[in-house]
């Protein structure tokens, strides 16, 4: 049959080392449930779970005991133990053989061996006691080791330790039934438990073990100990079947034997391990790699067998020799138990999680278990089963339960169902009768009480009543009521008997004359006597009944006599003649069956009485013979006495009288005895006469029974005919219903097909519409400048990954001779489109998997870092504790020192608790990611690939090839960049060391005049302030680099000439001195531009003195296509009189701009083209382009050489001093990773993350606030850690603003889609969730879009085209403007140096309002497309638009009187 694979989990206790290092327990076993909880709330359920305090005995009794019993019945068995290194597998299996181990600590294998031989002995003793042949047992053992994918024989005593490196001679084969066996393995025959344990011990000592950092004696190979059990025993069968078989065969001493075989695998797997944790190198590392390969193959087999979606796929048993050896145990012919051994410590969290996931998959495996018999035994067993089935079927035919209809079909007799229904109804009626009887008794008692009360009241009125009379009256009334109830019952019984008699007379037409004849009713002598005795008994019983008529007694006696003479049981059912024909048939049949049973009992009684009469007759005849002989003896004695009397003459008269009197007495007594015997003879004659009458009555009754049986057969035939008619009618109706259901299903199927076709057509139409739109965009006419910019290499380079899927289709469509193939264009287009869709889904899935694994890896790195910190703090706390105890014991006056040490210990304990909380949060995030990964597997890669046609597979192969080439190129470029960076780092370190030495010498010269500086240098010489100097020097060089990059200005270099450098020139060699030679300028100090090939190169920046002359010539622009430029704006004549002038336009992005930020010298722009560009406002040049974003850049902020860009759920942190390098990646969930980890390919937002809408920095630049979902996450930029969240918004937070409230306190204003504006007060150092301190009311009518702060005034703009002004101090609404714009409001900013606020809308219009009264100051057409963002610096405004440009505006004069 099919059996699930049993799964158990064992949690080992914590080790002493783990307790010392402060490891916490991260597992929890639910009491009374087979469930283990990992972390906070991730639960895994198995068949059994054993906690840390479980004993080996309980593990064995629950897991292995039933497997050994199954082996005696011929079932194969396997038991696994697996888990990470050091989780207790070898201890659980019992293959370690520790010298100090106790009986309680024995593992599974020693207990199983003991159980096996104990079971053999018990079976032999049981067979001897029962007199059966003793079963024969033969036990063989094998012990294999799988070391580095080589199968080694541990019983082979000839091999040496060096032979393990050579190729093994053991071969693995598969028999015809799919069973696995090995060739070339030593098999040892064992006959006792001690011999088996000796074999096991010798093999275990030969096993490969070694020491790692995680386990002192670590198993370096997989071990498989196999026991083969062969058993010859007498076939176990049922007694009835065996007796029948022996009767058929004619022999009672023949025994049938069967041969059963079973094999039991005990598998001790080596632990899964990570080289970075075990610290393995050399051979240990190779062993670890081999172990993990085998376990990976095992995991793939478990996935293929356990995953329901992959059950139809190939199971990779041959990927490893481990899975090949265990092929029977995994989905084959074996009862398998898998024990997952896990560590409870939180530092092994990832290994424990993977082990539990491994075990969870294994639960779904279904094995096909069967008894291993030889062929003769199998055939005998099959024949025995068939005989038992046929005998059961024959018995059912004999009893009438099963019958064959006229059409030859078998069916179950309806009488069986009817009988069960009647039994159920009978039980229900019996319960009801009992309940009714109780009700009647209660009502009778109540009626008696009422009547007695009534009589007592009457007597009381008459004045004659007392308590005794009342009790007597109550007893009389009670007796009267009982007699009345019995009278009613007798009348009901009498009426039922009359009805039954009338029904019996009407049924005479069915079975001849009635059985109740006058002859039978005629009084007979003994029957009359019996009736007379019964009447006397009844008279005695019924004399007690007072006030009862004589007729009642006569009727009761007549009824009793009728019952005794007729022997007919009364059926209590009162049926009317108007019932249906079927019910009449059933009632008649039931009555006839009942009468047959009664007559049969009567016949048996008559036969018994006849036998008794025969016995009495024999006794009387013997007694009669004895009496006759006695009479003869007496007559002889009389004759002899008379003769003596005549002969004796001398006797006196007195003596004669005496003798005469004696003989007369004797004669009288004999006469009396003679009379008795004569009466007995008469009685005997009467009995003989009655016997003839009984025989006649018996024959009559037998005839009646035969006639009744015939009548029963006739009735049953009529019922069968009626049932057959009903069955035919029901079958016809069922067919009609089935036909209707089939039609209904067809209609539903057609409906679903039509819906699917409709969806497919809509999808095709949508795709065609998108293609038409794309073609129209390509064909759209454009100006020469735009055409020039479209042909730039940078956009092409950036879009090349997205264009890659289209390239192989165009090249693949060309024939070898260069002509295009036109046939089957429609089918080709459709398959190409399908292949493109499949490739996009695969690419998204691959990107999602990469992102999930990167995120998990980052989380695991964070957890390992926290674990190391906790270990260091724990050791430090132990040292402080020992130091405090030592000081406290030695010095009695050291209270202050002890107090300081105690405070230090408390701080260390607090830090450890904080780290433990962080570890728990990290584990919870990992569990959440794992759950999201399981839920998010919507695209099954194997299913997509398996559903591909040949042409689609070719397209996918081309795409995969291109992807592999691109990834290889990217890897090579990254490696070359790393090498260049390493070279630069070494050069920088050399320069830094040189600068440190020069600085030290310079300070040494000046230290002669300054004694404090001299002391400081003395400490530096001792190495105390070396770190400070290094930091100072690095910061100096970074400062010089920063100035060089940001300004981007280099004066015209003079011709290099040979001269001696001074100390200052050597110290600041990279500071951009004009007289320095070109070799002294290191490459990273120049502005970095990303070239079309993808790697970053330093680009020389020309010096331009005047900002207004900042236009490139066309030739220069065409040469540096990759760099964006700002060009002077050509103002219209009408706008030249305005006080707000557009002075420059920045162009360079290929798609609409979404965000902008600026300082006095730098401009930062983010766009839908997935880049953020950095512009130098002094030179008007683009300094660098920050790319590799997963999607559009929706927000950008700058602070102290760090640029923060937002794309999807990620915030990238760029250090623009260091070659525009991404140094951190922050996520919306609070994770931090080093470098760029989100990738440049377009990916969906990972599970557990949210889209980040906007970010904002506090004025001091120490905190970053990121709005994602309905919360705002806070980041401490000093440590790059998330400190908490701002909560309370119901809708998405769409805009964000931060202001400084005081020293160390920020005020955060949020606007959300729930129409509300909230204020949060954030004090430095606050952690966790922070709620809003104020809610600005009345709220807007729609979602918020923009915020602006001007002094103590707050301006808010929403999608309802309303601008509101609030007072910060009193939190009150001061002014508002309805319908400020005809289009949707999109941005808001305060104009620098003027009392005006500026708003932009989706139509490109800019409007200005007075900050005090919100009076309109004028409007100006800023852009032809939507204005998406506005920012300001000290003297300029910047507007970013969908037209791919940023306009730079300057205010000339005051705007208070209007802009014109």
Alpha-carbon distances, residue 11 vs 220, 343, 356, 357, 1080 (angstroms) = 22, 6, 11, 15, 64
Cα–Cα distance for residue pair 561/567, rounded to 1 Å: 9
CA distance 1156 to 1431: 6
Containing 1254, the helix (H) or strand (E) segment is: strand 1252-1257
* φ/ψ bin of 368: left (φ > 0), alpha (ψ from -120 to 50), beta (otherwise): beta
d(C-alpha 23, C-alpha 916), whole Å: 9
CA pair distance 645, 637, nearest whole angstrom: 12
Q: Say how many C-beta atoms besides its own lie within 10 A of residue 779's C-beta.
A: 7
The CA distance from 505 to 528, in Å, is: 25
Answer whether 956's CB lies under 8 Å from 842's CB: yes
Hey, which residues does 1323 pair with through a beta bridge?
Answer: 1305
What phi and psi values does residue 434 have, to the nearest 5 degrees? Answer: -60, -45
Residue 90 annotated as binding site: yes
3-state secondary structure of 443: helix
Q: CA 300, CA 294: separation in Å to the nearest integer?
A: 10
CA distance 92 to 1210: 46
3-class secondary structure, 1010: coil
Note whether 896 and 920 are within 8 A (CB): no
Instruction: List the beta bridge partners of residue 337.
Output: 6, 79
The CA distances from residue 1259 to 675, 1158, 1211, 1325, in Å, are: 145, 14, 19, 16
Query: Residue 695, Cα to own-chain centre: how many angstroms?
Result: 81
**Is residue 88 annotated as involved in ligand binding?**
yes
Compute the distance between CA of residue 130 and CA of residue 133 in angstroms, rounded to an integer.
9
Name, in order, each residue with C-beta under 8 angstroms of 300's C-beta and a sequence gap of 6 or more: 316, 319
Q: What are the backbone dihedrals phi and psi of residue 1180, each rounded to the nearest 5 degrees, phi first? A: 75, 15
Annotate 360-374 with DSSP letters as a single string: HHHTT-EEE----B-
Neighbouring C-alpha atoms within 13 Å toward the C-beta of 125: 6
The sign of the torsion formed by the CA atoms of 1292, 1294, 1299, 1303 equals positive
- Which of 1424, 1428, 1378, 1379 has the alpha carbon at shortest distance from 1400? 1428
Determine the straight-line distance between the first and last CA of the chain, rounded to whole angstroms.
93
SS3 (DSSP) at 103: coil
Whole-angstrom distance, CA of residue 584 vs CA of residue 580:
7
Question: What is d(CA 135, CA 128) in angstroms, rounded to the nearest whole number?
Answer: 10
85 among the known binding-site residues? yes
What letter would DSSP give residue 793? H
Tell me 970's DSSP state: H
Find out whether 1237 is annotated in a ligand binding site: no
Do residues 374 and 74 lie in contact, with contact meaning Cβ atoms separated by under 8 Å? no
Chain centre distance of CA 1268: 30
For residue 246, the tally of other CB atoms under 10 A from its CB is 13
CB 583 within 8 A of CB 590: no
Q: How far apart are the C-alpha atoms of 55 and 305, rounded to whole Å?
A: 32
Question: Are the beta carbons of 301 and 317 closer than 8 angstroms?
Answer: yes
State yes or no: 1287 annotated in a binding site: no
Binding-site sequence positions: 83-90
Binding-site sequence positions for ATP: 83-90
């Amino acid at each position: 049959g099919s059996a699930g694979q049993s799964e158990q989990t064992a949690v080992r206790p914590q080790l002493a080392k783990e307790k010392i290092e402060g490891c916490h327990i991260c597992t929890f076993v639910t009491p009374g449930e087979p469930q283990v909880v990992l972390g906070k709330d991730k639960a895994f359920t198995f068949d059994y779970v054993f906690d840390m305090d479980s004993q080996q005995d309980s593990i064995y009794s629950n897991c292995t005991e039933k497997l050994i019993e199954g082996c005696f019945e011929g079932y194969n068995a396997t038991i696994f133990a697996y888990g990470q290194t050091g989780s207790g597998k070898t201890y659980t299996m019992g293959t370690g053989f520790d010298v100090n181990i106790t009986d309680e600590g024995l593992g599974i294998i020693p207990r199983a061996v003991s159980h096996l031989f104990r079971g053999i002995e018990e079976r032999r003793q049981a067979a001897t006691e029962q007199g059966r042949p003793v079963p024969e047992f033969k036990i063989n053992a094998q012990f294999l080791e799988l070391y580095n994918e080589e199968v080694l024989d541990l019983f082979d005593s000839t091999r040496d330790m060096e032979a393990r490196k050579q190729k093994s001679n053991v071969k693995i084969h598969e028999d015809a039934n799919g069973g696995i066996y090995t060739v070339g393995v030593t098999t040892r025959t064992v006959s006792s438990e001690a011999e088996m344990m000796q074999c096991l011990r010798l093999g275990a000592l030969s096993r490969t073990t070694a020491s790692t950092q995680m386990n002192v004696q670590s198993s370096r190979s997989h071990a498989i100990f196999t026991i083969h059990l062969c058993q010859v025993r007498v076939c176990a069968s049922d007694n009835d079947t065996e007796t029948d078989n022996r009767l058929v065969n004619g022999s009672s001493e023949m025994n049938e034997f069967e041969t059963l075989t079973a094999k039991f695998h005990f598998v001790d797997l080596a632990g899964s391990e990570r080289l970075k944790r075990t610290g393995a190198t050399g051979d240990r590392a190779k062993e670890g790699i081999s172990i993990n390969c085998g376990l990976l193959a095992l995991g793939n087999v478990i996935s293929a067998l356990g995953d329901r979606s992959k059950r139809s796929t190939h199971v990779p048993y041959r990927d490893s020799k481990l899975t090949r050896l265990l092929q029977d145990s995994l989905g084959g012919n074996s009862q398998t138990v898998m024990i997952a051994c896990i560590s409870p410590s939180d530092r092994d969290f990832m290994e424990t999680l993977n082990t539990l996931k491994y075990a969870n998959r294994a639960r779904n495996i279904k094995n096909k278990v069967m008894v291993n018999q030889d062929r003769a035994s199998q055939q005998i067993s099959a024949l025995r089963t068939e005989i038992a089935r046929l005998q059961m079927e024959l018995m059912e035919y004999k009893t009438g339960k099963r019958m064959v209809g006229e059409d030859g079909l078998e069916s179950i007799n309806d009488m069986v169902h009817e009988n069960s229904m009647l039994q159920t109804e009978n039980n229900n009626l019996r319960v009801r009768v009992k309940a009714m009887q109780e009700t009647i008794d209660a009502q009778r008692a109540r009626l008696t009480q009422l009547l007695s009360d009534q009589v007592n009241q009457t007597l009381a009125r008459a004045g004659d009543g007392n308590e005794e009379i009342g009790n007597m009256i109550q007893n009389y009334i009670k007796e009267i009521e009982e007699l009345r109830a019995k009278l009613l019952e007798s009348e009901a019984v009498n009426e039922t008997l009359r009805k039954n008699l009338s029904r019996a007379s009407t049924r005479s037409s069915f079975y001849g004359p009635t059985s109740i004849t006058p002859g039978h009713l005629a009084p007979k002598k003994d029957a009359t006597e019996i009736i007379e005795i019964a009447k006397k008994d009844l008279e005695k019983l019924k004399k007690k009944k007072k006030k009862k008529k004589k007729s009642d007694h006569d009727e009761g006696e007549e009824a009793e006599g009728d019952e005794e003479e007729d022997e007919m049981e009364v059926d209590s059912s009162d049926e009317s003649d108007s019932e249906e024909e079927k019910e009449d048939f059933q009632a008649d049949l039931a009555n006839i069956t009942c009468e047959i049973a009664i007559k049969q009992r009567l016949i048996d009684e008559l036969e018994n009485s006849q036998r008794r009469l025969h016995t009495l007759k024999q006794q009387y005849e013997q007694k009669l013979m004895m009496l006759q002989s006695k009479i003869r003896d007496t007559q002889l004695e009389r004759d002899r006495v008379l003769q003596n009397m005549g002969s004796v003459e001398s006797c006196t008269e007195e003596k004669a009288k005496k003798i005469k009197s004696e003989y007369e007495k004797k004669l009288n007594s004999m006469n009396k005895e003679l009379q008795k015997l004569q009466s007995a003879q008469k009685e005997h004659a009467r009995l003989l006469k009655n016997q003839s009458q009984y025989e006649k009555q018996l024959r009559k009754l037998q005839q009646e029974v035969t006639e009744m049986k015939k009548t029963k057969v006739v009735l049953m035939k009529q019922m069968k005919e009626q049932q057959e008619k009903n069955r035919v009618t029901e079958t016809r109706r069922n067919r009609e219903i089935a036909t209707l259901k089939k039609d209904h299903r067809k209609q539903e199927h057609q409906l679903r097909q039509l819906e699917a076709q409709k969806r497919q057509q809509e999808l095709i139409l949508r795709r065609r519409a998108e293609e038409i739109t794309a073609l129209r965009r390509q064909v759209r006419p454009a100006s020469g400048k735009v055409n020039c910019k479209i042909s730039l290499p940078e956009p092409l380079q950036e879009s090349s990954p997205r264009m890659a899927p289209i390239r192989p289709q165009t090249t693949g469509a060309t024939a070898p001779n260069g002509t295009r193939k036109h046939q089957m264009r429609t089918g080709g287009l459709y398959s190409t489109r399908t292949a493109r869709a499949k490739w996009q889904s695969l690419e998204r899935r691959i990107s999602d998997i990469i992102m999930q694994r990167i995120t998990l890896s980052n989380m695991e790195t964070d957890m390992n870092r926290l674990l190391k910190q906790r270990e260091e703090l724990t050791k430090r706390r132990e040292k402080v504790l020992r130091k405090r105890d030592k000081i406290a014991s030695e010095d009695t006056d050291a209270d202050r020192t002890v107090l300081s040490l105690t405070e230090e210990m408390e701080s260390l304990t607090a830090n450890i608790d904080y780290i433990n909380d962080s570890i728990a949060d990290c584990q919870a995030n990992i569990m959440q990611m794992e759950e999201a990964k399981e839920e998010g597997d919507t695209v099954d890669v194997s299913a997509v690939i398996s559903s591909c046609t040949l042409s689609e597979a070719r397209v996918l192969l081309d795409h995969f090839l291109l992807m592999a080439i691109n990834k290889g190129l990217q890897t090579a470029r990254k490696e070359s960049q790393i090498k260049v960076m390493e070279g630069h780092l070494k050069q920088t370190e050399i320069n830094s060391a040189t600068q440190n030495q020069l600085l030290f010498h310079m300070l040494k010269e000046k230290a002669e005049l300054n004694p404090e500086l001299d002391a400081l240098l003395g400490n530096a010489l001792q190495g105390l302030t070396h770190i400070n100097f290094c930091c100072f020097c690095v910061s100096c060089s970074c400062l010089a680099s920063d100035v060089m990059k940001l300004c981007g200005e280099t004066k015209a270099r003079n011709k290099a000439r040979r001269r001696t450098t001074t100390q200052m020139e050597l110290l600041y060699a990279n500071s951009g001195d004009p007289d320095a030679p070109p070799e002294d300028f290191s490459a990273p100090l120049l502005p970095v531009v990303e070239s079309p090939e993808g790697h970053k190169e330093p680009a020389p920046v020309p010096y331009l003195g005047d900002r207004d002359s900042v236009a490139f010539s066309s030739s220069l622009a065409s040469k540096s296509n990759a760099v964006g430029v700002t060009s002077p704006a050509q103002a219209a004549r009408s706008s030249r009189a305005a006080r707000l002038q557009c002075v420059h336009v920045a162009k360079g992005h290929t798609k609409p701009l979404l965000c902008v930020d600026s300082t006095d010298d730098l401009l930062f722009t983010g766009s839908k083209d997935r880049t953020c560009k950095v512009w130098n406002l002094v030179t008007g040049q683009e300094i660098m382009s920050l790319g590799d974003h997963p999607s559009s850049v929706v927000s950008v902020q700058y602070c102290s050489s760090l640029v923060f860009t937002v794309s999807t759920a990620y915030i990238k942190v760029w250090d623009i001093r260091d070659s525009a390098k991404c140094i951190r990646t922050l996520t919306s969930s609070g994770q931090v990773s080093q470098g760029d980890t989100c990738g440049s390919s377009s990916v969906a937002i990972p599970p557990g993350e949210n889209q980040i809408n906007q970010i904002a920095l506090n004025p001091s630049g120490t905190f970053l606030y990121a709005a994602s979902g309905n919360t705002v996450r806070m980041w401490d930029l000093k440590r790059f850690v998330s400190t908490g969240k701002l909560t309370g918004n119901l809708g998405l937070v769409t805009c964000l603003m931060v202001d400084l409230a005081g020293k160390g306190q920020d005020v955060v204003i949020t606007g959300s889609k729930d129409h509300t504006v909230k204020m949060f007060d954030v004090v430095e150092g606050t952690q966790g969730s922070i709620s809003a301190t104020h809610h600005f009311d009345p709220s807007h009518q729609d979602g918020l879009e923009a915020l602006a702060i001007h002094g103590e005034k707050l301006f808010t703009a929403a999608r309802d085209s309303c601008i509101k002004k609030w007072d910060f101090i009193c939190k009150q609404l001061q002014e508002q403007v309805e319908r400020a714009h005809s289009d949707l409001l999109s941005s808001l900013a305060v104009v620098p140096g003027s009392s005006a606020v500026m708003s932009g809308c989706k139509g490109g219009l800019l409007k200005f309002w007075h900050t005090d009264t919100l009076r309109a100051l004028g409007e100006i057409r800023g852009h032809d497309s939507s204005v998406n963002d506005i920012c300001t610096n000290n003297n300029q405004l910047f507007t970013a638009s969908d037209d791919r440009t940023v306009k730079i505006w300057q205010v000339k004069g005051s705007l208070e009187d209007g802009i014109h």
